[in-house]
Amino acid sequence: MLMCDVAVIGIGGVGSAAAAYLAQAGADVIGLDRYSPPHARGSSHGQTRVIRMAYFEHPDYVPLLRRAYRGWHDLERATGRQLYFPTGVLQIGPESGEVIAGTLRSAQQHRLAIQQFRYEDIASEFPGVVPPADCVGILEHDAGYLLVAECINAYLDQAKQHGATIKTDSPVQSWSRTGEAFELRTDSEVIHAKQLVLCGGAWAKQLLADLNVPMTILRKHLYWYENDAPAYTPASSFPVFLIVTPQGIYYGFPQLDSQGVKLARHDGGEPIASADQQNQREDAADRRAVETFTSSHLPLLSHNLVHHEACMYTVTPDQHFLVGTHPEHEGLHFAAGLSGHGFKFASALGEILCDLATTGRTSAPIEFLSPRRFS
């Protein structure tokens, strides 16, 4: 039997950060994952993730994003790797819609710098983009993208350098509270931990079932298309983008390498009963929808598909996170239900989980993410 101060279940985006912060704080840490991160079987993969500050989802996320940006910069300094690329993020949608109105609300409340564009100015400012009718644009210059696998590797390297034990291909079959400790059972061993941190991604639906918060797992698709249009490259200052259309919400990235331009649909998705049902099969209808979008709004982009991957969103009823300490199990801390917009927060959430596991409290404003809101 192994014993440790803190066990971290799930060491993808958030869990790798938590393991690193905990190890740096001097805790004896064991991090476990059913696969070998970074891998393509969960939610934290697919080359890139968007990071932005003027958050249309809710202004209360902005203080957490300030902490997240600091965390990513700290990780870059510690590792000597560039992980964050400030290409800017362009968001296009109806002026009164959730994305534009929400971005303006966060920017105004937190005094964030943004640049606004009228419909007629978008195409001239961003050649190759045809905005939907009656839409406006907002550009956040300091936003951009993170290299997702490199971020996870960097945090895992930091965790191991500070003494953490990392166990991959070790699915946790069950956990229980036994006296003053938590007992974790894998296929091959039993681990006792004084504190437990759960960052199970889509597996949180089963690991945290006793929170009684319904979580829906959605299978999502990522596409990379061949590109020979200079308009969609960083050399042309083409930003990360999110475009709201009557048919759906689509996002993508400038061409970064030979795989071309990455695109995906943010809304929609195929519900699956459990994370174990995830697979990498293509969805013909989803691909048609993406290519219909590009024909209308990125008309210079090829439809020659270079690469496809599938990932998972784990979505709460209000599409906001679940973060905190379990109301019935003292010493059990979690970040779950990140609802398809959580990776950018991984550095902040890892630090918050470290605070909770080592001191029992955090100064971060996470009350609005408590599962008590569903009680």
Residues acting as catalytic residues: 45, 48-49, 262, 266, 311, 344
Residues written for the chain:
375
With H, G, I as helix, E, B as strand and everything else as coil, classify residue 344: helix
239: Cβ contacts below 8 Å, ≥ 6 apart: 87, 88, 89, 90, 126, 139, 143, 144, 254
Distance CA 153, CA 150 (A): 5
Q: How many CB atoms lie within 10 A of CB 67?
A: 18
Sort strands 248-252 and 165-167 into parallel, antiparallel or unpaired. Answer: unpaired
Whose CA is closest to 270, among 251, 243, 289?
Answer: 289
Write out the two tokens for 107. Answer: 């920017």
Alpha helices, DSSP H, located in the chain: 13-24, 62-79, 98-110, 119-125, 148-161, 204-207, 284-297, 346-359
Write out the two tokens for 56. Answer: 């249309």
341, 218 Cβ separation under 8 angstroms:
no
129, 239 Cβ separation under 8 angstroms:
no
Distance CA 229, CA 249 (A): 23
Distance CA 192, CA 184 (A): 6
Cα-to-chain-centroid distance, residue 156: 17
